[in-house]
Structure 1
Amino acid sequence: MTSGPRIALYQPDIAGNTGTILRFAACMGLAVDIIEPAGFDLSDRNLKRAGMDYLEMAALTRHVDWQAFREHLHAQNRRLILLSTRASVPYTGFAFSDRDTLLFGRESAGVPEAVHEAADARLVIPMQPGARSLNLALSVAMVAGESIRQLRHATI
């Protein structure tokens, strides 16, 4: 579960989304990084309800802040792939790698400019004109699913 692409959440706001993402990641054999501070207590009952009994299966690494996460990425020689509504490259046209960490921003504010600048690639999920954003858990599932498809890691 520790090799291959990873999912990273930058200071997530909504426990239910994070729980759903942890459940998805556990089922798909993906590890998750949470960059704190989160907008909720990670023991929050909504997180447990959304993650159900899959939370014990989830490979979760918590990072105290952005700098600690960057040091972890560097030590693991991982590529940082940011999903952003400000990007221009569609996620479906990108060649994913086993050493990718797929980074998703806060539900309320995305990521700061310094995080954008630190990314090795910036990808977008194309949407209809006028649409602002998708639900975070849905976005993670779409992009991670494409990564898995490309890398043939699906076991279901």
Structure 2
Amino acid sequence: MMDRLNIVLFEPEIPSNTGNIGRTCVATGARLHLIEPLGFSLSEKAIKRAGMDYWKELDVTRYLDFEEFLEKNPGAKIYMATTKAPQTYTEVHYEPDCYLMFGKESAGIPEEILLAHQETVVRIPMLGETRSLNLSNAVAIVLYEALRQNQFAQMKLTGHLTKYDWK
């Protein structure tokens, strides 16, 4: 089985963010892991609208809590995105099957979890006292860096015009 990156959302609260992230996972071949409680129902229209018709193609797993996630993914290399991290997301090497974890929109990842994984916490640089980026944007930034570092394995790297040819 080919290596695949994994996106982990810790207690996501906003359905449109999760829907957008699901669509990004389908487009990149990443798996999505949702750690409960969720701030919405997965049947909500907002999830399906944001994920469009891609949601049915999504490889998604739900967990009751962080402990269950760890039990079911033993030995997983987990990089945790937080505004509190001492290193940026570009300063680490992402393995082709690693897990990229993001916290809930209102509070992020709990500090006790961050402390237990401090060697793999990363941040996206921002100006001043900006609280954070939108969750789906943050996921896309870090995920695409991990994909870039792994040479965009199995991804389509060229596009084609519909009416013309590139010179």
Shift of 1:5: 1.7
Residue-by-residue CA offset, 1:97-127 (whole Å, 9 max, x unaligned) = 1231000000011121222123250000001
Alignment-derived partner of residue 141 in structure 1: 140
Which structure 1 segments of 5+ residues have no match? Answer: none
The answer (yes or no) to whether the contact 2:80–2:122 under 8 Å persists in 1 is yes
The answer (yes or no) to whether the contact 2:4–2:29 under 8 Å persists in 1 is no
TM-score (norm 2): 0.87
Matched, 1:30 2:27: no
Alignment-derived partner of residue 41 in structure 1: 41
Matched, 1:55 2:55: yes
The answer (yes or no) to whether the contact 2:31–2:58 under 8 Å persists in 1 is yes
Name the structure where strand makes up a greater proportion of residues.
1
Shift of 1:45: 0.9
SS in 1 for 2:90: helix
Matched, 1:64 2:64: yes
CA distance in 1, matches of 2:29, 2:138: 17
Which structure 2 segments of 5+ residues have no match? Answer: 157-167
Alignment-derived partner of residue 15 in structure 1: 15
Shift of 1:92: 1.2
What letter matches 1:111 in structure 2? I
State percent identity of aligned pairs: 38
TM-score (norm 1): 0.93
CA distance in 2, matches of 1:113, 1:13: 18
SS in 2 for 1:85: coil
What letter matches 1:40 in structure 2? F
